[in-house]
Structure 1
Amino acid sequence: MSSFIEQRRDPLLSEPFFLEQIEDYKESSYFDPSWWAKINDPLHERWSDPHRRPTRSMASESMFMDNLEHAILLYSGGASHEDIKVCLSIVKKELLRHKKEFPDEQFYYWEQDAYQYLLWMFSLSILYGQDEMLPELVRYISKNPEGDDDPLWSMLLARLGYPGLPRGPESYTPEVYRPLFDAIKGDGVNPTRVERQASIKQYLKGWYKGCKECYWYDRHKAKHAIYFGYWAFEAALVTLLYELDDSSYRDMRYYPKDLVDYARANGVAEKWQALRVAQHPIAMPGSVVEQDGNWRCNLTDEQWQLRKGQRLPSQTHVNKDDMLFWIQE
């Protein structure tokens, strides 16, 4: 048995495809000066097709999204946690740079690719202790312009110290993510820990099949080296946040068991105990703030220093589809 087969975490990843992608990464756009020239040139805004998204925005976005895929590839191939953290630090740097350059960029979580990307980014950043990017990740989450939001996101953000995203009914959560929602809903008594654990097990059973609409689905069958691994990192995040016993599901496919072990060994569970989490409320435009503080807008660079009893700015949208909210820093 080769050393790669022994070290890899994803049994579907072959050594030739892994090594080919490692070499491709070294020649990727991240290291291409001409790609960075597009990003840094405000005059280079669009492709020849005026209906395409701005060139700079697409090129800039790819710098952190491609690096996130590379970090997952490293995990799948059995790289050390320290090497993966180095790659995630690049993701963090590029994510922060992109949001600063394009503050109105966001992930529309009602699109499944965006939903899963957000779950991956939140999970990996916390589990690897790179949670400095959390404030920016929250600013990337879209606000439903037609009403309340997915309760999974509302509850998960509240658990991470960002309460206030308007919570819609359970039916707003896509079916594939419903067991994950069941694992985080309720209070410290109900559901019980055993029930939460059962929900995670159910989630892992249906996760991959439920991701058919994602661009990476079935990539392990491709003839080219484009497969970076299948992982429900969010199952690990919930296991850690809710202090679950993963013995009933730790050997299931898609569950990154050694990442949970790594996070626990490095004090992440203690850091994220519910009573220790700093609070950064989310509020809607025009809201009266309940305490003194600095507030930052999700889709603009605006920041307001307000006293208790004052109101946030009343502007609700940057356009008909993109709604504003504010986060207390």
Structure 2
Amino acid sequence: MDLVNIKRQQFLTPQMYETLKAETLNTIETFKVNPTGVGDSLEERWVYSYAIVAENYLNLLLLEYTAGNSLPFIRSQLEIVIDYYEQYGSKLRSYHKNINLPVFELFTIDGYCPCIWLISLCYLLHRKDLLPRVAKLIDGEMRENVAQDWLIEEYLSFSDENRYDCSTVLVPKPYLLLCEAFSNQDNEISLAFVRKFLKNWYKDLSGAPWHDTHKSEGGYYGYWAFEAACAVILLEIENDKEFHEYLYYPKDLIEFYRTFKPSSSEIDLLTKYQKISIHAGEKCPQPGYWFTVARGNTRQYFKQGDIFPNFESDWGDVYWQFDGEE
């Protein structure tokens, strides 16, 4: 990748990108097979390991977006991130013997931001099919944790009309401003609230662990207000050009959202299997040509029941996607 010309934020240097990517992948691979040293029991140490893996897959996605990787690639990797949050959730709930335990601690910035980002990216990258899975991470298996936060309920309600009323805003700074944007019927007033939200976003989230990481030795994955871009599409704001001045406004995701059309192959796969990609090592669900973004020139024909091959990838996990029958 020609990082100098395609990166989406200027703080990321080629050396920083390569170093941080290698460190993140190493962390992922280490804690996939080893428990952490933190915890009172082996089972609890494994819970922390699964949390580290999930968080680092999200960090890796942010890094690739910041570095300028293509949006179809970012879109294809979103499901991997959610897969690992689900694995963490399963381990967490098993350990605490509570199938409704929330995976995200929404009353903290550390938990709230990843949650609202994943929800927003599901909309922006045309993966609304993943939203019920994200919602389950919040709600629990029996939906006992619903209606914790007004804004999260509002975002989820655009794809699920059976969401819940809530009057609580768990992280009022800066998210109360977005709540005001959605509460107002006047589009111009809503626009003004989104503008004020963006103006305050970085400053008001100064307590987040990623804040100002571009000034340190490592840990900078990028700063992105995905929730603001998501608000633009959900509120049907047609002209967002005044937001382009904010470094952390992901403007290209708006264009992607407005122009992307899923292929008939993808729609067919979603209809049959509720997913658009299959993990390497699993069986091919239907005959045809498949490819993986984990490596170039991989398009090949698989018969139903064939095992998708695995190999070393710059992204750790290899997933295969259907590309038609011819």
Check if 1:72 corresponds to 2:62.
yes
For 1:36, give the aligned amino acid. K
**1:123 — aligned with what?**
120
> Does the 8 Å CA contact 1:72/1:228 hold for their aligned counterparts?
yes
> Does the 8 Å CA contact 1:64/1:91 hold for their aligned counterparts?
yes
Check if 1:205 corresponds to 2:199.
yes
> Does the 8 Å CA contact 1:38/1:56 hold for their aligned counterparts?
yes
Q: Give the Å deviation of 1:49.
A: 4.9
Give runs of aligned pairs for residues 1-329 of structure 1, distance below 5 A.
Answer: 3-26=2-25, 28-32=26-30, 35-38=31-34, 47=37, 49-50=39-40, 54-103=44-93, 104-141=101-138, 149-161=148-160, 163-168=162-167, 174-186=172-184, 190=185, 192-223=186-217, 225-244=218-237, 245-267=239-261
Distance of 2:146 and 2:65 partners within structure 1: 38
SS of the residue 1:79 aligns to: coil
SS of the residue 1:208 aligns to: helix
Which whole-Å deviations, capped at 9, do the CAs of 1:252-289 have from their partners, x for residues lacking one? 22100011111111149xxxxxxxxxxxxxxxxxxxxx
Q: Give the Å deviation of 1:132.
A: 3.0
* Gapped regions of structure 1 (runs ≥ 5): 40-45, 269-329
For 1:114, give the aligned amino acid. G
Q: 1:220 to 1:54 in 2, by over 3 A?
A: same
**2:270 — aligned with what?**
none
How many percent identity over aligned positions?
23
Distance of 1:10 and 1:17 partners within structure 2: 12
Q: Give the Å deviation of 1:85.
A: 2.5
> Does the 8 Å CA contact 1:157/1:163 hold for their aligned counterparts?
no
The size of the alignment, in residue pairs, is 252
For 1:127, give the aligned amino acid. L
TM-score norm. by structure 1 comes to: 0.68
SS of the residue 1:197 aligns to: helix
Q: 1:132 to 1:94 in 2, by over 3 A?
A: farther
Distance of 1:7 and 1:259 partners within structure 2: 15
**1:275 — aligned with what?**
none
Q: Which has the higher contact order (CA 8 A, sep 6+)?
A: 1
Distance of 1:77 and 1:106 partners within structure 2: 28
Q: What is the Cα-based RMSD across aligned positions, in Å? A: 3.0
Which of structure 1's runs of 4+ aligned residues deviate more than 6 A? 145-148
Distance of 1:83 and 1:131 partners within structure 2: 17
Which whole-Å deviations, capped at 9, do the CAs of 1:33-77 have from their partners, x for residues lacking one? xx33446xxxxxx84652999111111122221111111111111
> Does the 8 Å CA contact 1:109/1:142 hold for their aligned counterparts?
no
Q: 1:107 to 1:142 in 2, by over 3 A?
A: farther
For 2:219, give the aligned amino acid. I
> Does the 8 Å CA contact 1:47/1:55 hold for their aligned counterparts?
yes
Which whole-Å deviations, capped at 9, do the CAs of 1:285-305 have from their partners, x for residues lacking one? xxxxxxxxxxxxxxxxxxxxx
Q: 1:148 to 1:132 in 2, by over 3 A?
A: closer
Distance of 1:21 and 1:108 partners within structure 2: 26
Q: 1:146 to 1:66 in 2, by over 3 A?
A: closer
For 1:60, give the aligned amino acid. Y
Q: 1:146 to 1:262 in 2, by over 3 A?
A: closer
For 1:252, give the aligned amino acid. Y
Distance of 1:96 and 1:4 partners within structure 2: 32
Q: 1:23 to 1:48 in 2, by over 3 A?
A: closer
> Does the 8 Å CA contact 1:107/1:114 hold for their aligned counterparts?
yes
Distance of 2:182 and 2:155 partners within structure 1: 7
